[in-house]
Structure 1
Amino acid sequence: MTNLTLSPALGWPLGTAICVIMLVCAVAQIVLHIRRRSQSDETVWACARRSMICALVAIMALTPSIVSSTNSRAINTTDVVVAVDVTGSMAVADAQYGSDEQLSRLDVAKQAVKDIAAMYPNSSFAALRFGASGTLDVPLTPDSKAIDNWADTLAPESTSISAGSTLDVPIDQLLLTCKSIHDQHPDDAIVLYLISDGEQTSSKTRRTFSSLRRYLSDAFTVAVGSEQGGNIPVTGDGVEEGDTQWVTDPETGEPGVSRMNADEMNAIADELSGTAIQLNATTTMSGGDSKEASSKWRVTQTSKQRTRTVAMVWPFAIAVALLLTFEAGAWITQSRRLL
């Protein structure tokens, strides 16, 4: 579907002002020609030519354009993969994000995800959560709003199904996701953000993340929480709002304390040859964008239909150029006659 419209390149106020001025000049040229017809040697063609130049410039000031519908979209060849920890310890309210306000670790993670999406405009994103298992929730998409909406849905997994914190849980899903992206777009830059409190409560030895390096251009580990820690609230369908219960440490019988493990997050960053970021009252995701982000673009087809406005000034510009050429020729001819 194609429609004609006006879309002033200089903005409506300035475009309208120029249009009005040029139309006034066009009318003034005709009026002056009629009044001075007996006293001037200006021809009708000369008057018409000058009036048309003014009229065409007036039209160009309003920038005639064609609006067409398209499913094509130019996207940056940077693919951002975000993995967020949703184990029970992420419900601990000991985290901060650019202020002294105490928030749950997962709430800080949500804000971080939204800021990450904003740092890479017109890029593609994939998102997964991990707790007892790793799940790809959002396959690769150029829709950053889908990532924002996904972040809003994040919630700590139920205490009844939680098997403790095992930081290597997302490795298999991340390998599948990053390999798939790399195979589809081998020239893209792939950037990983792993958001967690770094707590490892499983007795199993954690697997290394180094196997992901072959597919990644850059990586960041983002630690949330505090080293002082806090009690872990019981989460699940059976827990009523306002009824705060704490997860009990089986060894002491007292409410368990979860602490952010910055050393573990630093170790994972080293395995990924990436950068470790620790979010707190003074540190947010600002400045956490990758230097390896791509500067290239590609055109892709999307299911969402959008409109594109294309200026159609060139026919009028050609006409003005021709008329100005005639005007210059007439002026040169008249100048020679006067010599």
Structure 2
Amino acid sequence: MTFLPVAPWPLLLVLLVAVLAAIWWNPSSRTVPGESRATHWRLTAAALLLGLAAVRPAVPGEQVDTTAANLNVYFVVDTTSSIIAEDYGDERPRIEGVAADIAAIADALPGARYSVVTFDQDARVRLPLTTDTTALDAAVETLLPESYEVSRGSSVTQAKDRLTSLLEQAAARAPERGRVVYYLGDGEQTAAEPPAPFDVAKGLVNGGAVLGYGTTEGGRMKATRSRFDSSRSYIKDPSTGEDARSVISEDTLRAIAGQLGLPYLHRESGDSIDPAVAGIDLERFGTSEQIERQKVLARRELYWPLLIGVAGIAAWEIGAAATALLQTRRRKEAGP
């Protein structure tokens, strides 16, 4: 039997103990009446069943085939204020297009290992390499731009050193795995100096693409005061007092693509992801039977019968409470 708890074990244990204490603790009396004691035992059983369900017990199930790409996929994502400019699709933030394309690429390259690197004033690894697409989805869903109030301008090649380090480590540890890079941004350089070249040693990047978002007309950007606080007002251009507009720089993005040896693709709402993954050489990195067809042992989850038991106890308690209420009303109506 295996377990995949929905929260850390210590936290679940503390919560269970707290619930049991709340059920049984009675400061006014050391004894519990018979009917009340039965209720206490039913609530105790419900708490124990719910606690056991929270650790998600399972037994091994049947073996299934799954396809696995022998690739490390790095998503380098622009998280400057311009990434929420509202000129993607029907005036939606560009970050929605970024998130949609990352999900589509992951679907097109199942079984690969994914990493997310973001950049604004600094470059950060938001997600280390993992095959867990749920973790990838969570990382992408929580992508937010830096606060415009503290922004000092950023370079479109800010992530070069961090990405290079990751690629070099991966090449040393697993040289047989392909290393694919997707750069997702709008190419808007807001630092005072020109961007440094995005030069990565030849051979470290085996495929990918530079994906551009935005329009030449530009889009307005909601003011973001912190990573978790977006207002309804828009960033103002201090020189005009009007709403600032971010404009895509496709020339800059094409230059980055040329430096990485990757194709450049402008992305719009509804575009197929096929052109972005078409150039990846799966025959080179993922064609062996041992890599492409893996036997995966499925899990037979056992938490649902436990939850049925909790629901049954809850139904019993609701019925008992309704019966007691009905009896109380009848006694009041009968009078003395």
TM-score by length of 1: 0.62
Cα distance, 1:283 vs. partner?
Answer: 2.6
Cα deviation per residue 1:287-313 (whole Å; 9 max; x = unaligned)? Answer: 3213323224567xxxxx95389xxxx
Return the alpha-carbon distance in structure 1 between the equivalents of residues 229 and 76 of structure 2. Answer: 28
Out of 194, 213, 219, the position equivalent to 1:230 is: 219
Cα deviation per residue 1:193-233 (whole Å; 9 max; x = unaligned)? Answer: 00001111212121111225431111310001111102232
Out of 76, 87, 102, the position equivalent to 1:83 is: 76
Secondary structure class of the residue paired with 2:254: helix
Task: List aligned pairs for 1:263-282, cutoff 5 A.
Answer: 263-281=251-269
Partner letter of residue 267 of structure 1? A
Higher gyration radius (CA) = 1
Partner in structure 2 of residue 260 of structure 1: 248
Return the alpha-carbon distance in structure 2 between the equivalents of residues 284 and 264 of structure 1. Answer: 23
**Cα distance, 1:74–1:285 mapped onto 2, change above 3 Å:** closer
Partner in structure 2 of residue 56 of structure 1: none
Partner in structure 2 of residue 295 of structure 1: 286
User: Would you say the 8 A contact 1:75–1:142 is kept in 2?
Assistant: no
User: Would you say the 8 A contact 2:222–2:230 is kept in 1?
Assistant: no
Q: Which moved more, 1:166-175 or 1:213-222?
A: 213-222
Task: List aligned pairs for 1:1-339, cutoff 5 A.
Answer: 75-96=68-89, 101-237=90-226, 243-249=232-238, 251-281=239-269, 283-289=271-277, 290-293=279-282, 294-296=285-287, 306-307=297-298
User: Would you say the 8 A contact 1:231–1:247 is kept in 2?
Assistant: no
Unaligned runs of 5+ in 1: 3-65, 300-304, 310-339
User: Would you say the 8 A contact 1:75–1:124 is kept in 2?
Assistant: no
Cα deviation per residue 1:69-114 (whole Å; 9 max; x = unaligned)? Answer: 99xx984311111111110011111012xxxx22101111111111
Partner letter of residue 298 of structure 2? T
Work out the number of aligned pairs and report it: 234
**Cα distance, 1:241–1:274 mapped onto 2, change above 3 Å:** closer
User: Would you say the 8 A contact 1:219–1:272 is kept in 2?
Assistant: no
User: What is the percentage of aligned positions where both structures have the same residue?
Assistant: 22
Unaligned runs of 5+ in 2: 3-58, 301-336
Partner letter of residue 258 of structure 1? S
Q: Which moved more, 1:132-141 or 1:142-151?
A: 142-151
